[in-house]
Amino acid sequence: MTCPRIEIDLEKIKENTINTVARCKEHGINVVGVTKVFCGFTEIAIALVDGGVNMLADSRMKNIKKLRNIDIPKMLLRIPMLSEIQDVIEYVDISLISKIETAEKISEIAVRKDKIHKVILMIDLGDLREGIFYENENLIFETVEKILKLDGVSLIGIGTNLSCYGGVIPTSVNLGTLIEIKQKIQNKFDVSLDIISGGNSASLSLLQNDNMPKGINHLRLGASLSLGIGLNDAQIEGLYYDAFKVIVEIVEVMEKPSTPVGLIGLDSFGRRPVFKDLGIRKRAICAIGKQDIFPENLIPVDKDIIILGSSSDHLILDITDSHQNYDLGDTISFDVTYGGCLSVMTSEYVEKIFL
Ligand SMILES: *Cc1c(COP(=O)(O)O)cnc(C)c1O
């Protein structure tokens, strides 16, 4: 079979989804299935739908367009570029926004197309990515007031995103603030905000000790459903973390010294490499490289393999301690991190195989 390839176990992803959707339902939480970690491949998106999500979400319009034949509402996770709103109105049901200018542009085009576009206003609770900073209540109220006056736009809720840029951990305190903001908006404007979207897979950690504040009724989940991981990339109990496997082929096995010979300058990625002298070691070179995935994002299934590094097209492993007798032409399997899954799924050089 073609190498390098990524084998995707759709049944495991479906199981993860069934399990997570059921847990969330117990807490009154609706789950949106996030497809960006696997570039919106429809085979996998369908596994999420079969597992019970009632909406699909992605950050990129190119991925959302791939999902257009799956008959379920779509959400755009990244604030739309003003230049893509035409497409957004066409292919997306709900957008996350933070600036009134974005809402105005949505209104203008939605009215022209005789459509009503749903929006969720993002509140930044301290992670410092998108949203109006939570302390700036005047700006929040001002923005809500203006959105409510727009034709073609329906404000259906507020939301937040944590554990992304700033690494801020979701807690009952910061998510509690989101609920307070919702109540203030409802009191001030006599509207009902149906959706209070409490974040991504990291927020699932609050379900564990029943710390999810009452009122959060919506989560946008990608890493947990696909890779079984949540807060701090820790594995979530009861979920498969190995639905994605990268398989690479060995193109050279040789014994060599563990430190290079000669004056050391910069490597192919402009860094000055450092080496530990462990004497002569048995090394394997595999046909995959940084163009496809950075080596720190690969996790060998054979725990006795050490990843030494890679260049654009070559992955170099120390296989001295392995009990397997790897040879030229053999394959080696890896689990992947979130970033690894993202880059391998993006690489056109890695074959996608759906199991
Ligand atoms: C990526 C993203 C998510 C999903 O995050 P996971 O950690 O994969 O669950 C949710 N919301 C927004 C706004 C995102 O950009």
36: annotated active-site residue: yes
pTM of the model: 0.95
Q: According to the model, what pLDDT value does residue 230 have?
A: 96
CA 106 – CA 50 distance, rounded (Å): 31
The answer to whether 295 and 309 are in contact (CB under 8 A) is: yes
Interval between CA 8 and ligand 1 midpoint (Å):
20
Distance of CA 124 to the CA centre of its chain: 19
Closest to 20 in 3D by CA, of 35, 7, 33, 36: 33
Atom from ligand 1 closest to the CA of residue 226:
8
Q: According to the model, what pLDDT value does residue 273 have?
A: 85
Residues near 75 by beta carbon (within 8 Å), at least 6 away in sequence: 32, 55, 56, 57, 58, 92, 93, 94, 95, 96, 220
Helix, strand, or coil here: 200?
Answer: coil
Interval between CA 355 and ligand 1 midpoint (Å):
25
CA 170 – CA 205 distance, rounded (Å): 8
Interval between CA 35 and ligand 1 midpoint (Å):
9
The list of the chain residues with pLDDT below 50 reads none
* Cα–Cα distance list, 88 to 33, 144, 185 (Å): 18, 21, 26
- β-bridge pairing 244-257 and 280-286: antiparallel
Q: According to the model, what pLDDT value does residue 72 have?
A: 97
Q: Please give all residues whose beta carbon lies within 6 A of any atom in ligand 1, as ranges.
A: 34, 36-37, 59, 77, 161, 200-201, 220-224
User: Torsions phi, psi of 157, nearest 5?
Assistant: 175, -175
Interval between CA 267 and ligand 1 midpoint (Å):
34
Q: What tokens does 224 get?
A: 């947990």
Best mutation site among 48, 77, 231 for ligand 1, i.e. most ligand atoms within 8 A of its Cβ?
Answer: 77
CA 306 – CA 225 distance, rounded (Å): 28
The answer to whether 257 and 282 are in contact (CB under 8 A) is: no
Catalytic residue among 12, 36, 118, 182: 36
Which residue has a Cα nearest atom 12 of ligand 1? 77
CA 102 – CA 83 distance, rounded (Å): 10
Q: According to the model, what pLDDT value does residue 270 have?
A: 87
Distance of CA 231 to the CA centre of its chain: 12
Best mutation site among 20, 30, 34 for ligand 1, i.e. most ligand atoms within 8 A of its Cβ?
Answer: 34
Q: DSSP E strands: which ranges in the chain?
A: 5-8, 30-34, 56-58, 74-76, 94-97, 117-124, 132-133, 153-159, 195-197, 218-221, 244-257, 280-286, 298-300, 306-310, 315-318, 331-336, 351-354
